[in-house]
Amino acid sequence: MPLSTANLLTAAPAAAAGFSLGGDYFVHPTPAGTYFAVSRPEDDAGRRFLQGLLAEAQTPALTVDALKAWTFLDEQPALAFLERLQAAGHVQGLPQAMQAPAEPDATLLPALLSQLSDEGKAVLADAGGLMLAAVGFKHAHSEQVAALAAELAALQRRHAGLRAQMGLASDGWGLVSAAGYSELSFWPLYVGASRFHLVVSGQPRFNQQAYTRLVWALAQRHAARA
């Protein structure tokens, strides 16, 4: 797993023997872990670990040796690190290995996007505002919201300091009703060195395996080329 930049010894204090693996599993991010990994451009050990999992073409088997190699830590600090991700609900164990999505983009992306909106309407765009896939929207509208997403991303970058100063925890931008309900929301996806934009009509449904599969597919097909 390409987790080459992390030396977590500086982040995790040495722990006494206190952790063990719960069984023979294949480790995979949860939807919450996927969101945590790609929703912000910050670079930290947790995000690097989760993005490393998504860079694999197959869910890797979880062993102590593999965990030590991924984290550059000794056994117990490495297990403690994984336990923190587990406690945050960011990782899960699969009984069998799972392959990254292999379907063509034209069929895979609309099917996944449809599940991420309560109305079944969503658009995926690249960093430049080029529409990569859409479902539920008219074609002209898809292209317009993709372009708008790129402009909002530029706006967000310019004012990133303000968000940090105000302590805002939100990651997306939205068009909201007077009651505060989202009509159209724009979500950045920082996958590896690439950036994408996810535009969702209605209420986002990111607590889906479809969200993890979408990011996994992007990490395999686009981030690897960056």
Segment 55 to 114, residues that bind another protein, using CB under 8 A: 62, 79-95, 110, 114
Angle at 205 between CA 61 and CA 200, to 5 degrees: 120
Both tokens of residue 145? 């919201």
Binding piece for another protein, criterion CB under 8 A, among 100-108, 149-157, 158-166, 173-181: 173-181
Size of residue set near another protein by CB under 8 A: 71
Q: Which of 38, 46, 131, 173 binds another protein (CB under 8 A)?
A: 46
Binding piece for another protein, criterion CB under 8 A, among 30-38, 99-107, 149-157, 184-192: 30-38
- Start-to-end CA span in the chain (Å): 17
Total Cβ atoms within 10 A of residue 36: 19
Task: Evaluate whether 204 touches 185 at the Cβ level (below 8 Å).
Answer: yes
Which C-beta is closer to another protein: that of 2 or that of 89? 89
Rounded to the nearest whole angstrom, what is the least distance from the CB of residue 177 to another protein in the complex? 6
Binding piece for another protein, criterion CB under 8 A, among 101-109, 144-152, 157-165, 177-185: 177-185
Which C-beta is closer to another protein: that of 57 or that of 88? 88
Residue with tokens 């109305």: 119
Which C-beta is closer to another protein: that of 49 or that of 154? 49
At residue 56, the 3 state secondary structure works out as coil
Task: Evaluate whether 203 touches 71 at the Cβ level (below 8 Å).
Answer: no
Closest CA to 36 of 156, 157, 169: 169
CB-based contacts of 165, cutoff 8 Å, min separation 6: none
Considering only residues 153 to 172 of the shown chain, the ones binding another protein according to CB under 8 A are 169
Rounded to the nearest whole angstrom, what is the least distance from the CB of residue 128 to another protein in the complex? 23
Which C-beta is closer to another protein: that of 14 or that of 155? 14
DSSP for 65-90 reads: HHHHHHHT--HHHHHHHHHHHHHTT-
31 near another protein, rule: CB under 8 A: yes
Task: Evaluate whether 208 touches 182 at the Cβ level (below 8 Å).
Answer: no
Which C-beta is closer to another protein: that of 113 or that of 153? 113
Considering only residues 127 to 156 of the shown chain, the ones binding another protein according to CB under 8 A are 135-137
Query: What's the alpha-carbon Rg for the chain, to the nearest Å?
Result: 18
Q: Which of 41, 61, 103, 119 binds another protein (CB under 8 A)?
A: 119
32 near another protein, rule: CB under 8 A: yes
18 near another protein, rule: CB under 8 A: yes
